[in-house]
C-alpha cells in the first residue's frame, strides 16, 4: 500500500514552492526512517502520513484553502479508502497529517505522529532549513534582513524578515521535538543554524 500511496501523493506536487516540494517530502521520509529505527511503530501509518502530509500545500500557497494540514487529512482519507485501508489506519494517518503543522493546535497523540512532526521539523533545521527559509521568503517577497529591525525588537509571530524568521521559528524547533532521537539530531542542526545566524550578523555589519 505504501508504494501506491507514495505515487498518489507525488501527483499533488506540480508547481509547488521549492521550499515545500517533492524533494522536501523525500527528505522527510529519510529522516522518518532514521528516527523510526529507534522505536516500535506502525510503519504503514507513519509512511502514509509522511508521503501525504503536504499534499494540500500547493492549494494553500495558491490561496485556495486556509489549512493544508486539515485539507490534506480529508484528501488523504479519500486516497487511503480508495486503496482499501481500514478505518483505524485512515484515522491514524489523518491524525498524523493534522498534527504535523507547526502553527496549528493539534498535539501528536501517537508515536507515528510524533515522528512525522520531528522529521518534518528537522528538515527546517540545519543547512537545508536555512536554504528553505530564504528560498520561501524570496518567493513571498519578504526582506532577507533589516539591520534596523533586529529579532528582539520584531513583535511579529513569524518575523518580518527571513533573518528574523530564522530566529523566531528555526531556532525554536529543537525545543519542539517529541522524541529523544529527534532531539539529538535537532541539537546538532540547531547549533549549525545558530552559528550561521551569528556569522550572518557579522557579515551584515561589514565585518571580515
Q: What is the pTM of this model?
A: 0.92
% the chain with pLDDT above 90:
80
Identify the CATH assignment for 124-208 out of 3.30.565.10, 2.120.10.30, 2.60.420.10, 1.20.58.1910: 1.20.58.1910
CB hemisphere CA count around 161 (13 angstroms): 16
Q: Is the CB of residue 133 less than 8 Å from the CB of residue 162? A: yes
- Average pLDDT score over residue span 187-199: 96
Q: Reply yes or no on whether the pLDDT at 101 is more than 90.
A: no
Q: Report d(CA 27, CA 127) in Å as an integer.
A: 13
Judge if 1-106 and 124-208 fold alike in CATH terms: no
**Please, what is the average pLDDT of the chain?**
93
Which grid coordinates are listed for 53? 502530509
Predicted pLDDT at 100: 93
Dist CA 161 CA 204 (whole Å): 14
| First-last CA distance in the chain | 54
Q: Give the residue, 105 or 48, on which the prediction is more confident.
A: 48
Instruction: Count CA atoms within 13 Å of residue 72 on its CB side.
Output: 29
pLDDT for res 23: 95
Residue 121 pLDDT > 90: yes
Provide CB contacts within 8 A for 142, sequence distance 6+: 160, 161, 162, 165
Window from 17-21, 101-105, 134-138, 157-161 with minimum mean pLDDT: 101-105
**Domain spans, the chain:** 1-106, 124-208
User: How large is the greatest C-alpha to C-alpha distance in the chain, in angstroms?
Assistant: 61
Query: 1-106: which CATH architecture?
Result: Orthogonal Bundle (1.10)
- How many residues would you count in the chain? 208
Cell of 4: 501506491
Q: What does the pLDDT look like over 28-69, one tens digit per residue?
A: 999 999 999 989 999 999 999 999 999 999 898 888 988 999
Q: Do 122 and 185 form a contact (C-beta atoms < 8 A)?
A: yes
Answer whether 49's CB lies under 8 Å from 96's CB: yes
Give the mean pLDDT of 92-117: 92
Amino acid at each position: 500500500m505504501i508504494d501506491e500511496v507514495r505515487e498518489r501523493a507525488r501527483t499533488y506536487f506540480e508547481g509547488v514552492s521549492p521550499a515545500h516540494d517533492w524533494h522536501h517530502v523525500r527528505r522527510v521520509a529519510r529522516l522518518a526512517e532514521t528516527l523510526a529505527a529507534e522505536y516500535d511503530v506502525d510503519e504503514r501509518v507513519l509512511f502514509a502520513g509522511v508521503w501525504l502530509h503536504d499534499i494540500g500545500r500547493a492549494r494553500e500557497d495558491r490561496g485556495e484553502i486556509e489549512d493544508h494540514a486539515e485539507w490534506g487529512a480529508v484528501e488523504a482519507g479519500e486516497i487511503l479508502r480508495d486503496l482499501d485501508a481500514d478505518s483505524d489506519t485512515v484515522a491514524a494517518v489523518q491524525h498524523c497529517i493534522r498534527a504535523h503543522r507547526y502553527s496549528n493546535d493539534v498535539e501528536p497523540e501517537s508515536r507515528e505522529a510524533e515522528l512525522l512532526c520531528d522529521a518534518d521539523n528537522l528538515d527546517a533545521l540545519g543547512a537545508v532549513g536555512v536554504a528553505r527559509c530564504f528560498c520561501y521568503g524570496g518567493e513571498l517577497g519578504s526582506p532577507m534582513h533589516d539591520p534596523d529591525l533586529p529579532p528582539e525588537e520584531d513583535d511579529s509571530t513569524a518575523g518580518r524578515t527571513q533573518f528574523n524568521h530564522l530566529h523566531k521559528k528555526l531556532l525554536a524547533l529543537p525545543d519542539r521535538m517529541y522524541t529523544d532521537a529527534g532531539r539529538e539530531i535537532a541539537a546538532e542542526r540547531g547549533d549549525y543554524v545558530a552559528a550561521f545566524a551569528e556569522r550572518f550578523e557579522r557579515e551584515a555589519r561589514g565585518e571580515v
